Amino acid sequence: MKKPASSFFRRRKNKAREIPITLQKKQPGKLVIEQTRDLAPVQAMLADAGMITDGLEWPPACYIVAYFGTELVGCVGVEPMLDAALIRSLYVIEAMRTRGIGAALVTAARKAAHTRGAKSLYLFSTDAGGFFKRLGFIKVPVPQLVEALAGAPQVEYYRARPDEFAREVAWYLDISQDGVILR
| 88 touches 154 (CB < 8 A) | yes
Q: Which of 36, 112, 111, 127 is nearest to 74 (CA)?
A: 36
pLDDT given at position 23: 41
Banded pLDDT at 25 (limits 50, 70, 90):
low
Domain boundaries, the chain: 23-174
54, exposed or middle or buried, with CB in 10 Å at 0-12, 13-18, 19+? exposed
pTM: 0.82
> Which whole-number Å values give the CA distances from 63 to 5, 119, 146, in the listed order?
42, 19, 21
Per cent of the chain over pLDDT 70 is 85
What's the mean pLDDT in 109-132? 94
> Which whole-number Å values give the CA distances from 69 to 20, 39, 106, in the listed order?
19, 19, 20
The CATH architecture annotation of domain 23-174 reads: 3-Layer(aba) Sandwich (3.40)
| 39 touches 88 (CB < 8 A) | no
What's the mean pLDDT in 5-28? 48
Q: How many CA atoms lie within 13 A of 39 on its CB side?
A: 14
Banded pLDDT at 81 (limits 50, 70, 90):
very high
pLDDT given at position 18: 43
Q: Which of 49, 36, 183, 21 is nearest to 128 (CA)?
A: 49
Is residue 3 scored above 90 in pLDDT?
Answer: no
Q: Could you give phi then psi for residue 61, rounded to 5 degrees?
A: -70, 155
Quote the mean pLDDT of the chain.
Answer: 87
pLDDT given at position 29: 84
Each residue's pLDDT tens digit, 89-112: 999 999 999 999 999 999 999 999
Q: In whole angstroms, what separates CA 177 from the centre of its chain?
A: 19
